[in-house]
Amino acid sequence: MPYPEAVRFASATEADLQREEPPVKKLLCALALLAFVLPVQGAYVVRISDLQRSPTPPNPIRVAGRVTSTSPLKLNDGSGQITIAGATASLSDFLVVTGNWNGSVLTVTGEVDYALPPALTEMVYIPAGAFLMGNRGNEPYKPAAELPQHSVYLPDYWIGKHEVTRGEYRRFIEAGGYNNPAYWSSAGWSWKKTKTEPRYWAADQDWAASAGSSPQPFTQTDSHPVVAVSYYEAEAYCNWAGGHLPTEAQWEKAARWDGTPRVFPWGDVYDAEKYNNYYDHNAAGGGYTRYQTAPVGSYPDDASPYGLKDTAGNMREWCQDWYVSYPGSTSPFDYTGTYRVLRGGHWAYDSGVINMARCANRTNLVASYVAYTCGFRFAR
Ligand SMILES: [Ca+2]
Ligand SMILES: [Ca+2]
């Protein structure tokens, strides 16, 4: 086994791993995703995307990637995808397989390793089951894009309790992931070009001054959310960390479901003081100086029934879906290939502040969009 900490998901909970792993071990685990670029005895280790450029490596070869389809089995490493024969796995499993490549299919001949390093962040387990997605119809705003409310069944999954922090994103950068095309989609890699870090990465910022107001300088710590990441930068981090962006359905269920859907994470009544937005006066969010993010989890009331923090405010969050109307919509639309969805409100001024804090709210942007209101959450 090339992966000292290879973990089959069912054998340990994320919480167990978080509790029991000493920091050095956790670091080793985080680096496990990088291990497949190192030679493994008896098989050439090949990046999936390289199979398109160099289609006939000597067999057997060893590849790693995430399962994006189970029938046929397809592995994706963030920049390429191949079909696998002779093995089965579940959607989103991270696999390392050894086999023979014939130019279009890899037939597994060796063992199948499941390798998921512990997440860098605390993860919340959401059990399988159906929930009601979309606007309840009696909410203070009823955009057509949120209708109709409909039942969605989701298999169980894990989602970050917090938005991804600067400290976590720094690990990705320092491990070389930001500059490794293996973790980027081809569109993301061509967008990134020479960038070496997200915009507004410097700790000291003054977004009030840059917006033409009186200065309101503040310092972003490692506990503050990473800001101004494009969809591509969020996606690459998730690939490196062995997971993915939440789907809209995963995000919404975790943000509001309590047997019935809440309008806001804390309940049905709006309160600007419960979450980090432009009008609250919580000291963690700057008090009366409005132009700043807050360390994740600073607002105890911005908590969903499952325990997720900051789904109403702080950063709005990229989801992996294209922006498409719900089944049965009377105003159908389909922005597949154009707009990605974001969920939740954010810290900055927006005239739709109450509207955006609702769990059913959907906003959308092109994947390359960079703004200091946009962050993300990690799921697997
Ligand atoms: Ca605020
Ligand atoms: Ca948020």
pLDDT along the chain (380 residues), means of 10: 27 31 36 40 73 77 84 83 92 83 92 73 87 97 97 91 97 94 92 96 96 95 98 95 93 97 97 97 94 98 97 98 97 97 96 96 98 95
- The whole-number pLDDT of residue 55 equals 66
Q: What is the DSSP letter of 164?
A: P
3-state secondary structure of 160: strand
Distance 292 CA to ligand 2 centre (A): 13
Distance 342 CA to ligand 1 centre (A): 19
- The whole-number pLDDT of residue 89 equals 87
Distance 293 CA to ligand 1 centre (A): 7
Ligand nearest to the CA of 345: 2
Domain ranges of the chain: 7-116, 123-376
Ligand nearest to the CA of 310: 2
Single-letter amino acid, residue 278: Y
CATH class name, domain 123-376 = alpha beta
Ligand nearest to the CA of 318: 2
Ligand nearest to the CA of 287: 1
Ligand nearest to the CA of 281: 1
Distance 85 CA to ligand 2 centre (A): 40
C-alpha–C-alpha distance, residues 294 and 220, integer Å: 8
- The whole-number pLDDT of residue 341 equals 98
- The whole-number pLDDT of residue 176 equals 92
3-state secondary structure of 169: helix
- The whole-number pLDDT of residue 38 equals 41
Cis? peptide before 4, omega within 30° of 0: no
- Residues 6 or more apart in contact with residue 347 via CB below 8 angstroms: 276, 277, 278, 285, 290, 291, 292, 293, 294, 313, 314, 315, 373
- The whole-number pLDDT of residue 79 equals 63
Distance 314 CA to ligand 1 centre (A): 8
The pTM for the full model equals 0.73
Ligand nearest to the CA of 283: 1
- The whole-number pLDDT of residue 51 equals 81
3-state secondary structure of 101: strand
Distance 11 CA to ligand 2 centre (A): 31
- Residues 6 or more apart in contact with residue 312 via CB below 8 angstroms: 264, 265, 266, 274, 275, 277, 302, 344, 345, 357, 359
Distance 376 CA to ligand 2 centre (A): 8
Distance 101 CA to ligand 1 centre (A): 54
* CATH H-level, domain 7-116: superfamily: Nucleic acid-binding proteins (2.40.50.140)
- The whole-number pLDDT of residue 115 equals 66
Ligand nearest to the CA of 303: 2
Distance 280 CA to ligand 1 centre (A): 5
Ligand nearest to the CA of 314: 2
3-state secondary structure of 240: helix
Ligand nearest to the CA of 225: 2
